[in-house]
């Protein structure tokens, strides 16, 4: 196994382990909804929530990067600029991730929402991204004129992640920190945009996998694919406006941002739908599991379009803002779209490297079934929680927060139950995939 391929598997394996840890922290945090004192002294909700988001975001980024390294290492026409950079990138990210997890466990916080770690961790993270950027562009730039869309998406994702992750730390400068409105707007703008940047990595991966499964590069070179790319890019740069309805910006900025982000999803839905329609039986069979994950992702793109369309209507947004409906939107997209596309990518890689035995296939299929049924119920429960909270906020002023929370006890219990189902399904799948990756290192 060459060095880049070996580290690609290490990225993917570490991503899967992060997912296992993230799911566990999510479940423990959910359990605290029902029993507020549960492990409160050691891991209170304000540690578990950042740990959960740290691990699940690490899962998304590490497995997307691992996929990119793997796919490039398999192309005989591509010679990596520097093999050692891949190695340094991996160790930097691994050690930084461990450092951040330790600081959350020891209640050492220092940042903003979603990036609650002490600010010095910014430096190793950004160095890791820069190493990836230098390696990617030095390796790929000579042929950029013939790039299919996924190379553009990966390159764009890397550059914009460096830019917006830096932007998210501008609050360290007093000129930003001391101006409340600027500080607030920049925080949400940067947050929306770096999610857009990682979406470029994930959607690029989806287009790569679909092209390779169908052995048809026309998907990745079509006008529709490039239109999708430019919409994604515009959304990444300007789409944050619909995240900050409460900040006073001009209405037209919000309308344009909203229209772009909805169109982007409609196009993604239609690309996967066309691909599925035109794919022959043999190709579906040869990449059965990767195909299943991609189809499920398409279903979730559809559900998320509907939810996002609704919650972006300003009068509904007023009602849903800060409720579990927003959590249904963020978990719906990070699980339903990102996670499913990344599982499609990992299983595509492993189906290429190994013949899946009947037992492996059975376990993964069982895992998918358990995961999917639980996830639908989990998502609906989040919507119910959100509607109840919105109703309480606007229509039940005479009921105290404590009484309201007590009345929600059983719905929280149902949420945790479905969360457990979601975890069980994803554990079944992830353990099997980790076993296969371990076998790769043994041979």
Give the footprint of ligand HEM on this chain (CB under 6 A): 19, 23, 26-27, 29-30, 49, 52-53, 56, 326-327, 330-331, 334-335, 339, 416, 419, 422-423
CB 443, min distance to ligand HEM, A: 29
Measured from the CB atom, is 116 or 167 closer to ligand HEM?
116
Which of 28, 20, 207, 5 shows the shortest CA–CA distance to 87?
Answer: 5
**CB closer to ligand HEM out of 27 and 295:** 27
What residue number has its CB nearest to ligand HEM?
419
Closest contact distance (angstroms) between CB of 430 and ligand HEM is 10
User: For residue 430, how far is the Cα from the chain centroid?
Assistant: 16
> Closest CB to ligand HEM among 56 and 437?
56
Neighbours of 14 (CB within 10 A): 19
Minimal distance in Å, beta carbon 128 to ligand HEM?
A: 21
Nearer to ligand HEM, 289 or 422 (CB): 422
Compute the least distance from the CB of residue 236 to ligand HEM, in Å.
18
Nearer to ligand HEM, 27 or 380 (CB): 27
CB 363 within 8 A of CB 428: yes
Q: How many CA atoms within 13 Å lie on the side-chain side of 71? A: 23
Q: What is the DSSP string of 214-269?
A: HT-THHHHSHHHHHHHHHHHHHHHHGGGGG-TTS---HHHHHHHHHHHHHHHHHHH
Question: Two tokens at 304?
Answer: 């998320």
Residue (5 or 389) nearer to ligand HEM, CB: 389
Nearer to ligand HEM, 249 or 326 (CB): 326
Give me the least distance between CB of 38 and ligand HEM, in Å please: 12
Closest CA to 275 of 266, 264, 284, 262: 284
Least spacing, CB of residue 322 vs ligand HEM, in Å: 10
Distances (CA, A) of 82 to 90, 243, 314: 13, 39, 49
Q: Between 28 and 149, name the residue whose CB sits nearer to ligand HEM.
A: 28
Please, which residue, 257 or 340, has the CB nearer to ligand HEM?
340
Cβ atoms of residues 92 and 131 within 8 Å: yes
**Angle between the 180-214 and 45-73 helix axes, to the nearest 10 degrees?**
40
d(C-alpha 349, C-alpha 353), whole Å: 6
Residues 6+ apart with CB under 8 A from 297: 206, 272, 336, 337, 340, 341, 344
- Nearest one of 59, 51, 44, 61 to 24, comparing CA atoms: 51
Residue 50 in contact with residue 107, Cβ under 8 Å?
A: no
Q: Collect all residues with Cβ–Cβ distance below 8 Å to 133 and sequence separation of at least 6.
A: 158, 159, 162
Measure the CA–CA gap between 372 and 384, rounded to whole angstroms: 18
């Amino acid at each position: 196994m060459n060095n880049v391929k070996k580290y690609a598997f290490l990225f993917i394996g570490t991503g899967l382990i992060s997912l296992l840890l993230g799911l566990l922290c999510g479940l423990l945090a959910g359990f605290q909804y029902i029993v507020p004192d549960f492990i409160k002294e050691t891991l209170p909700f304000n540690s578990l929530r950042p740990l959960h988001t740290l691990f699940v975001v690490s899962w998304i980024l590490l497995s997307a990067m691992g996929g990119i390294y793997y796919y490039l290492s398999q192309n005989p026409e591509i010679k990596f600029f520097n093999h050692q950079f891949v190695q340094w990138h991996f160790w930097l990210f691994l050690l930084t991730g461990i450092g951040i997890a330790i600081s959350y466990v020891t209640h050492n916080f220092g940042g903003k929402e979603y990036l609650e770690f002490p600010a010095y961790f910014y430096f190793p993270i950004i160095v890791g991204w820069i190493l990836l950027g230098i390696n990617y562009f030095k390796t790929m730039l000579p042929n950029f004129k013939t790039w299919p869309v996924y190379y553009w998406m990966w390159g764009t994702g890397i550059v914009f992640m460096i830019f917006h992750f830096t932007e998210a730390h501008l609050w360290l400068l007093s000129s930003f920190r001391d101006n409340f409105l600027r500080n607030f707007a920049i925080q949400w703008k940067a947050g929306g945009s770096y999610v857009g940047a990682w979406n470029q990595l994930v959607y690029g991966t989806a287009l790569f996998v679909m092209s390779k499964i169908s052995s048809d590069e026309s998907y990745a070179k079509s006008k529709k694919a490039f239109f999708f790319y430019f919409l994604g890019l515009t959304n990444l740069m300007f789409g944050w406006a619909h995240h900050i309805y409460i900040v006073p910006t001009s209405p037209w900025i919000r309308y344009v941002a909203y229209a772009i982000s909805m169109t982007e999803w409609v196009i993604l839905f239609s690309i996967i739908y066309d691909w599925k329609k035109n794919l022959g039986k043999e190709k579906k069979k040869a990449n059965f599991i990767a195909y299943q994950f991609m189809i499920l992702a398409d279903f979730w793109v559809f559900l998320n379009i509907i939810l996002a369309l609704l919650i972006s209507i300003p009068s509904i947004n007023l009602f849903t803002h800060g409720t579990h409906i927003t959590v249904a939107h963020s978990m719906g997209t990070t699980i339903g779209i990102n996670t499913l596309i990344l599982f499609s990518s990992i299983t595509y890689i492993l189906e290429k490297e190994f013949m899946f035995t009947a037992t492996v296939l059975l376990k993964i299929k069982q895992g998918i079934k358990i995961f999917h049924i639980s996830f639908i119920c989990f998502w609906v429960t989040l919507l119910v929680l959100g509607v109840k909270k919105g109703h309480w906020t606007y229509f039940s002023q005479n009921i105290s927060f404590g009484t309201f929370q007590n009345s929600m006890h059983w719905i929280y219990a149902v949420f945790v139950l479905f969360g457990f189902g979601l975890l069980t399904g994803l554990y079944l799948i992830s353990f099997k995939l980790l076993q296969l990756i371990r076998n790769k290192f043994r041979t």
